[in-house]
Every structure is written in structure tokens, then in C-alpha cells.
Amino acid sequence: MANSKKYEWNTTPVDNPPNDSAWQEFVAGATKERIRKERKAELDKQKNENAKPKTPMTGADWVKFVILVIISIAFIMPILLVLMNSFKTNVSVSNEPFAFPNGDNFVGFDNYTNGVEKINFFPAFFTSIFVTVFSVAFIILCTSMCAWFITRVKTWYTKLMYLLFAFSMIVPFQMVMYPMSFVANQLSLDNMFGIVVIYLGFGAGLSVFMFAGFIKSVPLEIEEAAMIDGCGPIRTFFMIDFPILMPSAITVAILNAMWIWNDYLLPTLILNRQKTLPMAIQYLRGGYGSIDMAAMMAMLVLAIIPIIIFYFSCQKYIIKGVVAGAVKG
Amino acid sequence: MEKAIKKWFPLFALPTLVSFAIAFLVPFAMGLYLSFCKFKTVKKTEFVGFDNYIKAFSNDKDFLNALWFTTKFTIVSVITINLIAFIFAMLLTKAIKGTNFFRTIFFMPNLIGGIVLGYIWSMIINGVLYYFNATITTDANYGFWGLVILMNWQLIGYMMIIYISGIQNISPDLIEAAEIDGANAWQRLIHVTLPQIMPSITICLFLTLTNSFKLFDQNYALTAGAPGKDTQMLALDIYNTFYGRVGYQGVGQAKAVVFFIIVAAIALTQLYLTRSKEVEN
């Protein structure tokens, strides 16, 4: 056919348009395309407007808003009550916990000084920080390495290890607590250094399982390239895999930190002399139900403050990490 | 490549494996064996067969009472927590001001540890009951509902976040299509939203189920089982059998094995249900 030649924008003579069918087709096609583009732009614009409603909230929305405000006040109330009561006398805490501190029952920071002395708050606080920081650090380092090993090496014993780690996640602590405290005692792990080993071992199941899931998504080609370039397994892991695993490591770290910081039963059974913070607080409950409630309130405030600071400083990671942990676990 | 890595077993896998053996594998095997023994210390044991298991159920009614209390508590808290968390999630996925602020507030109690939570609520509940001349240990019902309220306060925010991420993953086209077909808000909820967030529902049900069933710290700090042993949950009963009665360590371990079997059964059922759902999708 004669009119098989193609026309394109910019190369076509405009002042003397050819009058063949290819040209007509070209013009028609271009027009259609322009119309299509315009309509798409219009639709996109509409969509964007729909996605981000700039309209003010409706009446029903305001009702919901007010309800949510009331509920959130109810949610913070317990913490505010504890704070308020931490400045009151013991009798006032148990008889009128909803009354504001006034001249009669206001005791200033007495409860704080009293409680700090009674339960040895600062040593307990230090023990908790020490145990949490070191356990989490060792869990991250050791379980990520272990998870990498059992995902990359495929033999019978790595498969068995993976199964055992997964199995340990469904075993409740009560099942192993008595023999565990015996073993820890026999191996002299009943101090704040030894408990790090216990936490690494008992936390290994979930952490290895989660890391193994993340490592499976790291492409093998990158590692192979590194190894061909002369990296040994150690350098490959720490220079290639570990940076990629960083976001997952944060998730694992947050989950473990929350568990270990708040844990009560395991340190109670393992530690011989030191106390962690939850143990120190429990210690305020004397024999047979006599509790110094005023000092208790002050100590609860001191226990909650670090958690709230931690929460507001890395809230984004915490919420994300906890959700990711829930979905994976 | 595999061979090169394999040589590094002692560095990569051994530290975790040794700790795992110390903290889990050895105690687990010992626990299984000890549940068939009479002992006061682990070093001096006497094999007694299924005696401990029979004693756990027949000697006193503590274990069965705790099992019943735990089941009741678990059912009530699973229902209330999930229902309320879902309603909150629906409210917070609408275009309302300050959704992030509300999310932050609702999630916060989840970070506070069980012991601290227990004492916060024992102060509040005792404060309310003071006006009725009672304390939380006056009646087992107070302790029960106290625990339910505490658990709700702690877990609603957590479950809400999971539900929110599920709801936000629903394609708007589906809702739109249902709207065009004339479905009202209720029908859209039942036929579009709920089936679409099934994965979130299974996760939340599982988390609330296991967390409620294995509860210890909160139970210990709030009522410690009082009055009598009426508000004692399974984990606390096991703890008290181990450390409260001399010569009953074997029975405690047998109770722990039964506890493990129940928890494992819940977890495996859950896993099975999730798997079968995944196939459907």
C-alpha cells in the first residue's frame, strides 16, 4: 500500500498537510488520545478530591468525636488517679481515692522518698535496665545469626532446630519454670548476668522464627555476589544481611524489650539477690495483704514514667513492631 | 556457599542453641519426667506413674475450680475486648479529627506490665467498692469483673490497632460497589467489611484467647486468688501448688503439663484454622 508511511508529531509538514488515509488516521488517533488524556486527568482530579475530603466534619462526625474524647479521658483516668493519689496520705488513698489532694491529706513527695527507700527503687531500676538492655542486645545478635544459619544451611539438624524453636513458642512458662530455676541454680546463672542467658534461651523461639521469616525475603543473589567478591560468611552476614534486617530487628527488639522489662515471674524464680522493678513493686505487698498503698502509688508512677517516655519517643516503631509481631507470631 | 557457612556453626548457631537448651529444652524434658515423680528437690525423685495426674484432679477441687474460672474469664474477656476494639477501629477509620491522637491514647495501657496494672486497678476498684463497704476480695464476682475490666483496658488498644490495619486494607472499590448495589451500612458491615478482615479477626481472637488463658501477673497483683482461692486462675494455681505446698511439686508439674496440653491445643487449632482460611483466599 502506498500510504503505509507513518506520521509523527514534529516531523509532519503542517502548512501543507497530505491528504491520504494514513494522515487522517493519524489525526483521528491523536484527537482521540488527547480526549482520553483530558478525561483521565479530570477523573484523577475528582478521585483526589474524593480521597482527601476537605469538607468540614458533619454533625454525626462531631458526635463521634465527642464520644471518642470522653472515652480517651476514661482511658487516661486510671493513670491520672495513680498520679493524684501518689501525693496523698495512706488513709486517703484507700478511703477516698477520687478526692483531689487538699490541705489535710496532701503529703508532698513523702510517698516517693518513703517508697524509694522501702523497696530499694534505684538498684531495682538499674537491674531492670541492665537485664533488659543486655538481654535484648544478645537476643538480636545471636538469634539473627542463628536464624540466618538455619535458613541458609539446609540439613536435618537445621530443620530440627527450626521445628524446636517453633514448638517452644506454644509452651507456657509454667511448664518449664520449676526445672528451669533448678538448672539456672546449678549452673550459677541465678544473677543478673546469668539471667541474660536465660532470656536469650527462652526468647529464642519467637525471635529466631521471626528473623527466619524476614531472612527468606532477602535475595540470595546479593549474598552470592558478596561471597564471589571474596567475603566470608561473617562479613557477608554483617555487611549485607544485617543492614537489610535492621527494620525487622527493631520489631524483634521492641517485642522482647516490652516482655523483659515487665516480666515478673521469671526473674523472681531465677534471681537470687537482685530485684527487678516489678519484683520490687510486688515486694511492697507485705505479708497477708497489708499494702502501703500510698507508697505503692508513688512507685507505680515511677514505674510508668519510663514506659511513657519510651512510648512517646518511638511510638511509630512500637505500634508498627507490635502489629508486625502479632501478624508473624 | 552452604558448605562455607556450615563450617561456622559454632559461631552462628551455637550460642543461641546452648542457651535454648539451658532455658527450654532441658527444663522441658525434665518437666515431662518430673510430672511422673514424687519429689521435694529435683535431685531426689521417686517414680510414681500417673499418681500426680490423678491427684491434680481428685485431691482437691482447686485445679478444676481454677480451670472453670479461667474458662469463664477467657470467654467473657475475648468477647468484650474484640467487640469494643472493633467498634473503636470502625470509629477511628472514619474521617474524624485527631484519629492518631486517639490511637496513641488507646494503645498506651498495653505497654504497662501486669504487676503494675494489677495494683492500679486494685486501688480504683477498692476505691469504688469502699462506698459499698466492700473490697475486691469480699466476693469472687468483684475479682472476676475487676480482672475483665483490667484486661479490657490493657488489650483493647492493641486489638484495635490490628483491626484498623485490616479495615484500611479493604479496597474502597468493594465498599463502593456495595453502595451502588444499594447495600445499607449494616449490610456493608456484615457482607463486605467482616469477611474482608477475617485474617485480623483470627489474629485478635488468638491473641486475646492465649493472653487471657495464660494470665498470671494481673491475677497475682489484683486479688492473688482471694477470697480463699475463688479467683485463682490456672497459672496461679500451678504456681501455688509448686511453691505453696511442700511435697506437692510433682502435682504442680503434672498440672503444668495439663496446662501446656490445653494451651498447645488452642494454638494448634488456631494454626489449622488460619491455614484453611489461607487456602480459601
pLDDT for A3 equals: 47
Listed by start position, the domains of chain B span: 2-49, 53-280
Q: pTM score, two decimals?
A: 0.84
Residue bearing the bigger pLDDT, A139 or B186:
A139
Q: Is the pLDDT of residue A10 over 60?
A: no
Nearest-by-Cβ selection for A176 from B24, B101, B107: B24
Give the fold, CATH level 3, of B53-280. Answer: MetI-like fold (1.10.3720)
* Of the ranges B35-44, B60-69, B129-138, B149-158, the best mean pLDDT one: B149-158
CA distance A37 to chain B (A): 22
Residue B281: predicted pLDDT: 43
* Four-residue CA torsion sign, A37, A40, A44, A50: positive
Q: Which amino acid is located at A218 in the chain?
A: V
A175/B260 Cβ within 8 A: yes
Compute the residue count for chain B: 281
Q: What percent of chain B has pLDDT over 70?
A: 96
Q: Helices A121-152 & A194-215, crossing angle to 10 degrees?
A: 40
Higher pLDDT, A8 or B39: B39
Whole-number pLDDT of residue A131: 95
Which residue type, as a one-letter code, is found at position A165? F
Q: How far is A104 from chain B (nearest CA, A)?
A: 18
Query: Three-state SS for B45?
Result: strand
In this structure, are residues B243 and B24 in contact, taking their beta carbons and an 8 Å threshold? Answer: no
The answer to whether B120 contacts A82, with C-beta atoms less than 8 Å apart, is yes
Segment B175-196 mean pLDDT = 85
Q: How far is B129 from chain A (nearest CA, A)?
A: 10
Tell me if chain A has a CB within 8 Å of the CB of B244: no
For the stretch B104-162, pLDDT in tens is 899 999 899 899 999 999 889 988 898 888 888 888 889 999 999 999 999 999 999 99
Cα separations (Å) of B201 from A1, A25, B277, B278, B279? 65, 56, 12, 13, 17
User: A159-187 pLDDT, tens per residue?
Assistant: 999 999 999 988 999 999 999 999 999 99
Query: Is-contact B128 A96, C-beta < 8 A?
Result: no
Residue A100 has pLDDT above 90, yes or no: no
Q: Which of A75, A145, A179 sits opposite B106 (nearest CB)?
A: A75
Task: Indicate the average pLDDT of chain B.
Answer: 88
What was the pLDDT predicted at A287? 61
CB neighbours of B156 closer than 8 A, spacing ≥ 6? B81, B84, B85, B88, B106
What residues are paired with A106 via a beta bridge? A88
Break chain A into its structural domains and give their ranges: 2-51, 59-109, 119-283
Chain B closest CA to A23's CA: distance in Å? 41
pLDDT, position B238: 92
Question: Given this model, what pLDDT does residue B187 score?
Answer: 87
Size of the A and B interface in Cβ pairs below 8 Å: 279
Domain spanning A119-283, CATH class: mainly alpha
Most B-contacting residue of A138, A155, A178 (CB-CB within 10 A), to test interface: A178
- In the three-class reduction of DSSP (H, G, I as helix; E, B as strand; rest coil), residue B168 is classed as helix
One-letter amino acid at A69 equals V
- The SS3 of residue A291 is strand
DSSP state of B139: -
pLDDT of res. A63? 86
The residues, ordered by sequence, that sit 6+ positions from A208 with a Cβ below 8 Å of its Cβ are A143, A146, A147, A150, A162, A165, B16
| Whole-number pLDDT of residue A15 | 60
Q: Are B220 and B231 in contact (CB under 8 A)?
A: no
pLDDT at B193: 87
CB contact under 8 A, A172 and B114: no
What pLDDT is stored for residue A200 in this prediction? 95
Q: Per DSSP, what are the bridge partners of residue A264?
A: none
Of B274 and B42, more confident: B42
Contact at CB, A300 and B106, closer than 8 angstroms = no
Higher pLDDT, residue B65 or A27: B65
Task: Pick the closest to residue A115 from A328, A301, A318, A319 (CA basis).
Answer: A301
Beta bridge partners of A285: A291
With 90 as the cut, is the pLDDT of residue B95 above it?
no
Residues 158-177 of A with CB under 8 A from B: 158, 161, 164-165, 168-177
Peptide bond into A247 cis (omega under 30): no
pLDDT at residue number A130: 95
The answer to whether B256 faces chain A, any CB pair under 8 Å, is yes
* pLDDT tens digits, one per residue of B207-260: 899 899 999 999 999 988 878 888 899 999 999 988 888 888 889 999 999 999
Range of A34-43, B20-29, B127-136, B262-271 with top mean pLDDT: B20-29
**Is the ipTM of this structure higher than 0.90?**
no
* B72: pLDDT strictly greater than 90: yes
**Interchain contact A95–B (C-beta under 8 A):** yes
Q: Which of B11, B18, B24 to mutate to test the interface with A (most CBs of A within 10 A)?
A: B24
- Rounded to an integer, the average pLDDT of A254-270 is 92
Any residues with CB less than 8 A from the CB of A173 and at least 6 apart, and which? A202, A265, A266, B214
Residue B85's pLDDT band (boundaries 50, 70, 90)?
very high
| Beta-strand runs (E) in A235-284 | none
